[in-house]
Structure 1
Amino acid sequence: MVSSNFIDYVKINCRSGAGGAGSVHFRREKHVPKGGPDGGDGGRGGHIILKGNAQLWTLLHLKYRKHVKAEGGNAGEGGRRSGGQGEDVILEVPLGTIARHAETNEKMAEITEDGQEIILLPGGRGGLGNDHFKNSTQQAPYYAQPGEEGQEAWVILELKLLADVGLVGFPNAGKSTLLSVLSAARPEIADYPFTTLVPNLGVVAYRDYKSFVMADIPGIIEGASQGKGLGLRFLRHIERNSILLFLIPATSENIRGEYETLLNELREYNPELMDKKRLVAISKIDLVSDEELASIKKQVPEQLPVSFISSVSQRGLEQLKDTIWQSLNVPAEQE
């Protein structure tokens, strides 16, 4: 597979900082030779923090950063002076990033908004100084708490693209061409399968300065949910799309069968995908005659909005955008 700057999966070792130790100290001044305990608390260790950044679209900047370690807290000092906190480490990630524990697969965090911050691994608490342990029977404690250890874990960061519309179809169905015509995105386009090796996002302009985001997901093949082809690697990006737009070329020998195969692959991968809104677009209608098109209209899935389009001649594209926009903005009680 060709190298790419689109990285949607990284595994990194994270370690938060240990807390600083509390201080064992007694007040000693010229006229106070036997002052009481005044040991300060240790500082908290640095956190490992995930932060959403809408300007990022890939995890490439973390691909070669295998170890992330936050600073430990400083020890407390006399005069009830607390130690300084360890510096936090902030990992900026694209919106749609999920963090999982590599060993348990437990979801640790999910970033969906710009500027959102979630503590992935908290730093250890600083220990209490001996000033906290004085009492009526122990007025000069020679004891202070050690700082709490930091936490360490291997963390998987997984990006799932956030888009309003996800294009679903077999390789060479015309997804990249459609995205390039509807938006300013410039995906690689050629007349052979698997031209698209990474997901592409495009902003589609709509009437009255409105817009929606469309994602071109690399082509699915039969068996993708079991790991065949490129499908398994990119099926997770479909999970975050509000609408699934099934793109099937008019030149297909079995349009209904192709739709059912695509639907089955999504169902096998994640049954929850069946709850998403679905639209169908028959592409490449410029390659068939009017008689063939009339026959095709009898094969399309029932009870779903179906559009007939040609990205090359730009037939039906405005109607397709109307259908998408209406589907995106149907009130929940009308669905």
Structure 2
Amino acid sequence: MASDNFVDYVKIHTRSGKGGQGSRHMRRERHIPKGGPDGGDGGRGGHVIVRGNSQMWTLLHLKFHKHIKAEHGKAGSGQQKTGGEGKDAYIDVPIGTIVRDGETNEILFEISKDGEEKILRKGGKGGRGNTHFKSSTNQSPDYAQPGEDFTEGWSILELKVLADIGLVGFPNAGKSTLLSVLTAAKPEIANYAFTTLRPNLGIVNYRDNRSFIMADIPGIIEGAHEGKGLGLRFLRHIERNATLLFMIPADSDDIKKEYEVLINELNLYNPELLDKERILVITKSDMLDDELEQEIAKDLPKIKTLFISAVTQKNLSALKDLIWETLNKRQND
């Protein structure tokens, strides 16, 4: 995934179509000079519809197309002809896109399936023609309804990345390096915090032509659930990963403490994230000898754990085995 092309947040302005005017037409024929009302109804205004598209993985196409309008409905006409409906405006988005109200930030809906359609803004109803207003006391009504007005406003679209396994850790924990070694992805890698500013996806090839998708997600920091650092933009991507791979470097001052901080941030953001399968890897472990490794292992959380090194390839095959086993265990439960 080319990071320059990955956009996971956009704010767009949309406007539905106005309903068409009802007709005030009176029937007039050579032998029927006072034929009464025969005005048709106006057509419905176009909706603005958000549609899921499994072939898309970014909101880039909306970055420079932020104003989207549906067509207005057509006016009714004589002989009780209904005006044409305004053309709906479709917004295609990747699976996992959340749509929020641009003013209140309230979640309106989420697109979770290919081809799923949700109306973001309803088109206005067409006005009724004068035929509807004929009565015993008014045989020739000379009025009709105007169409309902359009609706408009700002909306926020956010994308949550879908992957089999998501890499969770503080900045500079070695996530990008691991992804680059296990996959063909080429994330930015440097020895400073927040090198990764957006998710990177890679396909990990496994045995017998099998594979799984791994996501390198921007590093978490303490207070991320309050929006600190990359904050909520990071945390929402965690929600769509089947299994979480926690990564803590071997030279950390307190590995157990780092793990607890990471768990706490996920819990404060969304407690349901803790229901996901977890694996803990201690990265950069090529700097440890066997004795030090065993000493560190005594104080680690009681979850599946591996000491790895992306540089020396230490335990990377074992890691892929463990991930595959975990993913399939969850599918079979």
What letter matches 1:301 in structure 2? P
Q: Shift of residue 238 of structure 1?
A: 1.2
The aligned residue for residue 252 of structure 1 is 252
Instruction: Give, in whole Å, the separation in 1 of the partners of 2:190 and 2:4.
Output: 18
Q: Aligned to 1:233, what secondary structure does the other structure show?
A: helix
The aligned residue for residue 34 of structure 2 is 34
The aligned residue for residue 150 of structure 2 is 150
Q: Shift of residue 188 of structure 1?
A: 1.1
CA contact (8 A) 1:279 1:306 kept: yes
Q: Aligned to 1:141, what secondary structure does the other structure show?
A: coil
Q: Shift of residue 136 of structure 1?
A: 4.1
Q: Shift of residue 156 of structure 1?
A: 1.3
The aligned residue for residue 312 of structure 1 is 311
The aligned residue for residue 7 of structure 2 is 7
Instruction: Give, in whole Å, the separation in 1 of the partners of 2:254 and 2:152.
Output: 53
The aligned residue for residue 193 of structure 2 is 193
1:114 aligns with 2:114: yes
Q: Aligned to 1:330, what secondary structure does the other structure show?
A: helix
Distance 1:332 1:95, change over 3 A: closer
Distance 1:6 1:332, change over 3 A: closer
Instruction: Give, in whole Å, the separation in 2 of the partners of 1:89 and 1:65.
Output: 13
1:329 aligns with 2:328: yes
Q: Shift of residue 261 of structure 1?
A: 1.6
Q: Aligned to 1:95, what secondary structure does the other structure show?
A: coil
Instruction: Give, in whole Å, the separation in 2 of the partners of 1:238 and 1:140.
Output: 65
Equivalent residues in 2 for 1:55-204, closer than 5 Å: 55-204=55-204
Q: Aligned to 1:186, what secondary structure does the other structure show?
A: coil
What letter matches 2:324 in structure 1? W
CA contact (8 A) 1:173 1:249 kept: yes
Distance 1:275 1:119, change over 3 A: same
Equivalent residues in 2 for 1:196-215, closer than 5 Å: 196-215=196-215
What letter matches 2:128 in structure 1? L
TM-score if structure 2 supplies the norm length?
Answer: 0.91
CA contact (8 A) 1:251 1:288 kept: no
What letter matches 2:203 in structure 1? V
Instruction: Give, in whole Å, the separation in 1 of the partners of 2:97 and 2:284.
Output: 35
| Residues 240-262 of structure 1: per-residue CA shift (max 9 Å, x gap) | 22221101122323221111121
What letter matches 2:92 in structure 1? E
What letter matches 1:313 in structure 2? T
Instruction: Give, in whole Å, the separation in 1 of the partners of 2:59 and 2:314.
Output: 37
Runs of 4+ in 1 over 4 A off after TM superposition: 331-334
CA contact (8 A) 1:218 1:231 kept: no
Distance 1:194 1:331, change over 3 A: closer
CA RMSD of aligned residues (A): 2.2
Instruction: Give, in whole Å, the separation in 1 of the partners of 2:330 and 2:252.
Output: 34
Instruction: Give, in whole Å, the separation in 2 of the partners of 1:31 and 1:307.
Output: 94
Q: Aligned to 1:35, what secondary structure does the other structure show?
A: coil
Q: How many residues align?
A: 331
Equivalent residues in 2 for 1:212-223, closer than 5 Å: 212-223=212-223
| Residues 243-283 of structure 1: per-residue CA shift (max 9 Å, x gap) | 21101122323221111121122223333322222211122
Structure 2: unaligned runs, 5 residues or longer: none
Distance 1:333 1:5, change over 3 A: closer
What letter matches 2:320 in structure 1? K
| Residues 272-300 of structure 1: per-residue CA shift (max 9 Å, x gap) | 32222221112222222222222222232
What letter matches 1:83 in structure 2? G
Bigger Cα displacement from structure 2, 113-122 vs 17-26? 113-122
Q: Shift of residue 332 of structure 1?
A: 7.5
Equivalent residues in 2 for 1:273-288, closer than 5 Å: 273-288=273-288
Distance 1:331 1:164, change over 3 A: closer
Structure 1: unaligned runs, 5 residues or longer: none
Q: Aligned to 2:166, what secondary structure does the other structure show?
A: strand
Instruction: Give, in whole Å, the separation in 1 of the partners of 2:310 and 2:220.
Output: 20
Instruction: Give, in whole Å, the separation in 1 of the partners of 2:45 and 2:9.
Output: 28
Q: Aligned to 1:40, what secondary structure does the other structure show?
A: coil
The aligned residue for residue 23 of structure 2 is 23
Q: Aligned to 1:246, what secondary structure does the other structure show?
A: strand
CA contact (8 A) 1:95 1:113 kept: yes
| Percent of aligned positions that are identical | 64
Instruction: Give, in whole Å, the separation in 1 of the partners of 2:268 and 2:332.
Output: 29
The aligned residue for residue 230 of structure 2 is 230
| Residues 104-140 of structure 1: per-residue CA shift (max 9 Å, x gap) | 3332221122222211111011112122333444332
Instruction: Give, in whole Å, the separation in 1 of the partners of 2:184 and 2:27.
Output: 70
Q: Shift of residue 99 of structure 1?
A: 0.7
Instruction: Give, in whole Å, the separation in 2 of the partners of 1:234 and 1:12.
Output: 21
Q: Shift of residue 25 of structure 1?
A: 1.0
Bigger Cα displacement from structure 2, 122-131 vs 28-37? 28-37
Q: Shift of residue 4 of structure 1?
A: 4.5
CA contact (8 A) 1:175 1:216 kept: yes
What letter matches 2:306 in structure 1? S
Q: Aligned to 2:320, what secondary structure does the other structure show?
A: helix
